[in-house]
Chain A
Amino acid sequence: NAGVMQNPRHLVRRRGQEARLRCSPMKGHSHVYWYRQLPEEGLKFMVYLQKENIIDESGMPKERFSAEFPKEGPSILRIQQVVRGDSAAYFCASSPLNRVSEEQYFGPGTRLTVT
């Protein structure tokens, strides 16, 4: 049973470009969470999605950031017009139920570097 998959693992973008981060949850998991980890900081919740629905995006910056989890395919975190402050590790987690428990599994992360 494959774990949570994220790609790319490393992404380099110039200021002003777009970044697209993908997350495929574990098989049988329909709940996806995105977290961001800035250097020397803990993980910060960004958004919680179920298939075709954004449930809570209270941790997402109001501008330039968007997320989706389509009926088919991976969840996408999209950052438009990236700035240096967006450089961070972005982790996706998935769970089979909509409750935080020992069943929330993290993917390997995407390390975004903005030059």
Chain B
Amino acid sequence: QKEVEQNSGPLSVPEGAIASLNCTYSDRGSQSFFWYRQYSGKSPELIMFIYSNGDKEDGRFTAQLNKASQYVSLLIRDSQPSDSATYLCAFPSNDYKLSFGAGTTVTVRA
């Protein structure tokens, strides 16, 4: 079983809609989770991190964590063409090593 699995893409949403991205992880001991955005040909950029069960909102982004189900999601509200990118979820597999999912590519149609 892979450490981190993301819902397969690509995901295409119309402008203004909600994009929903999901990620499951295998390590029950994981305490923190990260969402990175990666534009084509660019480096990953951290956009959200979450440590506690529940929701965390930052602007148009909401991260949701359910440790019992080993599930973390990212919602992008009012999607904009500039949100078109690949989104990677990640968690620390130890104190310093990040394990990444394969990513979900999102395309926002104008």
Contact = CB atoms under 8 A, between A and B. Distances in A.
Do A and B pair up? The answer is yes
Interface of A: 31, 33, 35, 40-45, 48, 55-56, 59, 91, 95, 98-102, 104, 106-109, 111
Contacts, number: 61
B66 to A, nearest CB: 21
Given A45-B97, A91-B43, A109-B43, A100 B102 contact: no
Q: How large is the interface on B (under 10, 10 to 19, 20 to 34, 35 or more residues)?
A: 20 to 34
A99 B95 contact: yes
B81 interface: no
Contact of A42 (B32, B43, B45, B101): B101
B98 interface: yes
B17 interface: no
When A and B form their complex, which 4 residue pairs have the shortest distance between CB atoms, in order from nearest? A42-B100, A100-B92, A106-B43, A43-B100
A98 B44 contact: no
Interface string B62-77: 0000000000000000
